[in-house]
Amino acid sequence: MMKVLVMDGVAEQGLVPLRRQPDIEVVIGEKMTEDQLVEVIGQYDALIVRSATKVTARVIEAANKLKVIGRAGVGVDNIDRNAATNKGIVVVNAPDGNTIAAAEHTMAMMLALARKVPAACGKLKNGCWDKKAFLGVELRGKTLGIIGLGRIGSAVAKRAQAMEMHIIAYDPYIAEEHARKMAVEIVTLQELFKRADFITVHMPKTKETYHMINKEAFEQMKDGVRIINCARGGIIDEAALYEYMVNGKVAGAALDVFETEPCTDSPLLQLENFIATPHLGASTQEAQINVAVDVAEEIVAALRGELVKNA
Ligand code: NAD
Ligand code: MLT
């Protein structure tokens, strides 16, 4: 029997492709420390995680039977891929299943920022009917700057176009043809900072994108800009964001992801025009089933020595 350890509450309905295999045993793991994972990982042929479990070099070092690590989602930044590759362990992800969930969450954040929904709701729940305090702005006619026009960035562009926004984007790695077909104007990063009323980031966290939205970037932005990050913590320098929200340059910001997660004590959380969610971008019933099915199918293929699509 081959054994697959499933962590981080990956959707049970999505594990059907694994449970159908007579020679594969599925073990659902509880939250573990690195030490606990190091202790048990040697028994397993495959491991499935979302973002909570960190698959470090130490874990991989102890993983003597492991053939494949599956990420039920897009970002593989919680897995030490170099260590895995050096040990001959394949890393697969599920890049398509949560695109719509993350794009819809981005739209929810943008609308909530524009109309100050969380602050108004909080005040009303505290017994205060304060109609005057929450004058918002419309999305129609505003310029949305999208950094990273991949799957989620493109899905956001399409939805924002339906809100009659003008879309500009910066992405040095996409084909111009893709942007042209979507009626998105490709601009330099400097131009995006200068023109956008709303800025949303949709790229992976890499050495290149780490703190890409920093003091220097905020200086170039329009007064009253609103910022959204439903991609990865660390793309926005949170200390700089706080400074530019307090000095009034940034009218509002919405973060779903933080440089350190869980994040419960950031000074940003004290600001009324700051909206936060606890990494919920992919948290829809649909997306969680999609990514679990996709990754389970990839794990079966990898364990059988067949071709995997998303390595
Ligand atoms: P994707 O690979 O389809 O798109 C990423 C895009 O970023 C690509 O087009 C790439 O060319 C671009 N890019 C890379 N480096 C760049 C740079 N330096 N400047 C500008 N663009 C750059 O990925 P995706 O599925 O759209 O996911 C985007 C991000 O969202 C990832 O970080 C992913 O982990 C994250 N994500 C978060 C959640 C959540 O729960 N909040 C859910 C899904 C995905
Ligand atoms: C992803 O990269 O897919 C997200 O972080 C989603 C998740 O929370 O798993």
Q: Which of 226, 232, 297, 298 is catalytic?
A: 232
First and final C-alpha spacing in the chain: 24
95 contacts 74 by C-beta, under 8 angstroms: yes
Q: DSSP characters for 249-305?
A: SEEEEEES--SSSS----GGGG-TTEEE-SS-TT-SHHHHHHHHHHHHHHHHHHHTT
Q: List the Cα angle 72/74/75 in 5-degree steps.
A: 105
Which residues in the chain land under pLDDT 50? none
CA Rg value for the chain? 21
Determine the residue type at 185. Answer: E
pLDDT of residue 149: 98
Ligand closest in space to the Cα of 208: 1
pLDDT of residue 148: 98
**Ordered alpha helix ranges (H), 126-206:** 151-162, 176-181, 189-195
pLDDT of residue 123: 97
The atom of ligand 2 lying closest to the CA of 93 is 3
The answer, yes or no, to whether any atom of ligand 1 lies below 6 A from the CB of 207, is: no
Out of 7, 279, 280, 289, mutate this one to test ligand 2's pocket (max ligand atoms within 8 Å of CB): namely: 279
213 contacts 236 by C-beta, under 8 angstroms: yes
200 contacts 144 by C-beta, under 8 angstroms: yes
2 sits in which H/E element: strand 2-6
Tens digits of residue pLDDT in 18-50: 999 999 999 999 999 999 999 999 999 999 999
Tens digits of residue pLDDT in 235-274: 999 999 999 999 999 999 999 999 999 999 999 999 999 9
Q: What is the ipTM of this complex?
A: 0.98
Ligand closest in space to the Cα of 106: 1
pLDDT of residue 220: 98
Out of 151, 168, 203, mutate this one to test ligand 1's pocket (max ligand atoms within 8 Å of CB): namely: 203
100 contacts 154 by C-beta, under 8 angstroms: no
Please give the sequence-ordered ranges of beta strands (E in DSSP) within 16-142, or none if there are none.
Answer: 24-28, 46-49, 68-71, 90-93
pLDDT of residue 61: 98
